[in-house]
Amino acid sequence: MRADLVLVGFGNVGRRFAGLVSEVRPRLLDEWDLDCRITCIVTRRHGGAFRPSGIDGVRAADILEETESLEGLHDPAAGAAPRTGFDAIRLVADSTAPLRVLVETTTLNVHDGQPAVDHVRAALSAGLNVVTANKGPAAFAYRELHAKAGAAGLSFLFEGAVMDGIPVFNLVRETLPAVNVLGFRGVVNATTNHILTALEDGEEFGPALRRMQAEGIAEADASLDVDGWDAAAKAAALANVLMDAGITPHTVSRAGIGPQSAAQARRARECGRRLRLVAEGRRGAIPAVGPTELPEDDLLAGLRGTANALVLETDLLGRIVVGQLDSGLTQTAYAVLSDLVAIRRAARREAPARRTP
Ligand SMILES: NC(=O)c1ccc[n+]([C@@H]2O[C@H](COP(=O)([O-])OP(=O)(O)OC[C@H]3O[C@@H](n4cnc5c(N)ncnc54)[C@H](OP(=O)(O)O)[C@@H]3O)[C@@H](O)[C@H]2O)c1
């Protein structure tokens, strides 16, 4: 089954996703009968391109790096090149492919989640399924977007918004029927965990942060990580999706880390404790994010570097832990890919794939 993809945002995550789609193409075809074709890419400052016959995503990433523009990839016979995400969505809405999907990986905006929320709204209105790694839509407008997708018979998926490709939302939705999530507690921001681990090992704040920026793991505006906004957006998304909270990241009680955390991290370690940026929430209560000293035998205290883990407290299964020891761009790109396969699976319930894994 062919899926035409419109990539709104083509930065670290978008480019790694395009590469991954190309790397796993034979498996997607063989195992899922999923034929992904990127037909449109648009950025904020580097132009956009529409090519109904398909764009080679790996070549697009190379061209973007060489020329700082995507314009050269545009097919002039297809009209004007898209200039905004909304142009791109309109162009792909005309495709006759059985699956049309918006892959939204624009920058996180912690003020109001825009323009990602409007991109998702526009795509659902135009009949496109939506996959996003951006926390904004689930953190600011989950109820509305989930209802809109449901009414249109479309998917609105965002596994990459929390803990990259490690299933959190998909885990609960697909594998925990009749289970109520009562609360969560976790280390969910790789950049701050890397920095706090480095600080307790005696390193300085600046170099540790710069390493995360160099690897493309820190947010474009790294203050979003260190001030706790990224974790607050994740806490809001978790509370909204798993516990129907109807909140935004601004509701979350939030504290971040900074160079002053070095002394606290080292002191905690000397006392047999560990300083971690913990996000927690309980059904009916306001979630909180902040640096927390944990006893050494706390599961979260043992997370070093970019490792993340989330404990879900449930009514029927007690506490469940999901975690990742390595996080990075491939893991985030995989989250987007896994959501695409989930969309194909939903479609497959009507038209079975060739081989069931
Ligand atoms: N990096 C990670 O490890 C990671 C992990 C999980 C989730 N995420 C989330 O994934 C998203 C993307 O992250 P990233 O690291 O790829 O960010 P990035 O490298 O800064 O890339 C963002 C992309 O979005 C484009 N963009 C921004 N505003 C736009 C707009 N209004 N219309 C169209 N394109 C727009 C940018 O275009 P220009 O370059 O032209 O400005 C760029 O191509 C973020 O929401 C982030 O929170 C990232």
Q: How many angstroms separate the most distant Cα atoms in the chain?
A: 68
Partners of 254 in beta bridges: 289
Q: How far is CA 102 from CA 11, 282, 287, 336, in A?
A: 15, 32, 30, 11
Measuring CA to CA, which residue among 321, 314, 346, 339 is closest to residue 178? 314
Quick one: pLDDT at residue 15?
Answer: 98
Quick one: pLDDT at residue 327?
Answer: 83
**Residue for token digits 């939302």?**
169
Is the Cβ atom of 349 under 6 angstroms away from ligand 1?
Answer: no
One-letter amino acid for residue 174 of the chain = E
Contact 124, 99 (CB under 8 A): no
Q: Check pLDDT > 70 for residue 353.
A: no
When pLDDT is cut at 50, 70 and 90, the band that residue 355 belongs to is very low
Position in ligand 1 atom list of the atom nearest CA 133: 10
Is the Cβ atom of 221 under 6 angstroms away from ligand 1?
Answer: no
Q: Provide, rounded to the nearest whole percent, the portion of the chain with pLDDT above 90.
A: 93
Q: State pLDDT tens for residues 121-147.
A: 999 999 999 999 999 999 999 999 999
Is the Cβ atom of 222 under 6 angstroms away from ligand 1?
Answer: no
Of all protein residues, whose CA lies closest to atom 1 belonging to ligand 1? Answer: 217
Measuring CA to CA, which residue among 246, 324, 249 is closest to residue 279? 249
Tokens of 266: 């080292």
The whole-number average pLDDT for the span 251-263 is 96
For the chain, report the end-to-end CA distance as a whole number of angstroms.
Answer: 17
Q: Rounded CA gap, 306 and 284, in Å?
A: 30
Half-sphere exposure of 2 (CA within 13 A, CB side): 12
Full-model pTM: 0.95
Q: How many residues does the chain have?
A: 357
Concerning whether 234 is annotated as a catalytic residue, the answer is yes
Q: State pLDDT tens for residues 64-116.
A: 999 999 999 999 999 999 999 999 999 999 999 999 999 999 999 999 999 99
Q: State pLDDT tens for residues 140-191.
A: 999 999 999 999 999 999 999 999 989 999 999 999 999 999 999 999 999 9
Chain-centre distance of CA 18, in angstroms? 15
Of all protein residues, whose CA lies closest to atom 2 belonging to ligand 1? Answer: 217
Q: Rounded CA gap, 82 and 119, in Å?
A: 14
Is the Cβ atom of 43 under 6 angstroms away from ligand 1?
Answer: yes
Catalytic residue among 234, 273, 274, 344: 234
